[in-house]
Amino acid sequence: MTRGRLASIGLVLVIACLFADPTGLTIGFRDNDSYREIRDFVGSVPNAKALYLASDDDLYGIEPNFRLRAETSEKFVEAGYQEILSAASLGDVAFNSYLLQQGCKFVIVPLSTANRGQVSHKWGRLGEVLIRLQPPYFRQVLQSQGEFPVVLYEVLGERGEVGNIQSLQYGLQWSGVRSTFFQPLRTLQELGVYSYTYSNMYEDGRDVSWVYKTTAGYTEEPQFSIHFANNERRRFKVDVTLVAAYGGNAPTQIVRVTTPMGIQLVRIRAGKPGVISLQLEANENVKLSATLPCRLQSFFDTPNGEAREFCFGISDLRVRTIP
């Protein structure tokens, strides 16, 4: 790596630390850029902390994240972000408590997320994130202009009674299914010297992940469990929405749900999803299996060359704490 390249990285890291430390937790210093008005406002509030927050399609719509990724990597930029998303995946009330417990008086979100009125992430390694950017949790304060517009929100409310959300950091571990079922496919293509294009997309889109019978004759049976960084015993409510494959011509499917408490059979058909509600402790395994035949894509729609057979899909998976 050249000396000039190292110097460039050093400068970006200094800028990142001034604007918001590499985990994106605090801001408070003034720089002459499009975010200056937001800096000035946050800096006028004693002991203010602000946290960067984005949806899964616009994290790099925040300028420091975009610049830092170009000089380092997505892994570096997103270090520590999983903890924030873990708290957010527990719902509005829990996330509000998390922010207040962390002393965060403001959040900064990309304009694209603000225009949708909510921060959203598809379920996968965590439950779905769906945080509403409105009272009684947030109040819009300022909007910046320029190439990377963002919106500043004030965090409302008082510290709640959800408990220490930071100690509830968790993850969902999956097996019995391909990795692109529960996590996006990320690609990095070099366009030239130190110039790259990035892609972050879901194989089946944001609305669903399909369970397949592969061309080798193997039928996927998704299994998941909740895992914690500590040994704290907690129970969580997990709601899983199952959908038939697929569209208006979807035939009936019956999904067998196996848990430590026993077996449930969930009947789903076109336009009639099924929701299973579970109460789980750490390391308790949930297994989802199709009991009726899976079908080729040509059965539902105009053939497109897809050789795998569709069994059923998961359109949503939500996790909440149980007091």
d(CA 88, CA 94): 7
Q: Class for domain 170-321, per CATH?
A: mainly beta
207 exposure class (CB count in 10 Å sphere: 0-12, 13-18, 19+):
exposed
Spell out the alpha helix ranges (H) of the chain: 3-19, 36-43, 63-71, 74-77, 81-88, 92-101, 111-116
Whole-number percent of the chain with pLDDT over 90? 67
Please give the average per-residue pLDDT across 107-136, as a whole number: 97
28 vs 261, which has greater pLDDT?
261
Tokens of 127: 């439950």
Domain extents in the chain: 3-168, 170-321
Tokens of 143: 């909007």
Q: What is the pLDDT of residues 296-321, one digit of tens each?
A: 988 877 777 788 999 999 999 999 99
Omega into 136 within 30° of 0, i.e. cis?
Answer: yes
pLDDT at res. 227: 92
pLDDT at res. 158: 73
Please give the average per-residue pLDDT across 235-246, as a whole number: 95
20's torsion region: left (phi>0), alpha (psi -120 to 50) or beta? Answer: beta
Q: What is the mean pLDDT of the chain?
A: 86
Q: What is the pLDDT of residues 182-211, one digit of tens each?
A: 999 887 776 666 666 777 899 999 999 999
Residue 130 · residue 239 · CB < 8 Å: no
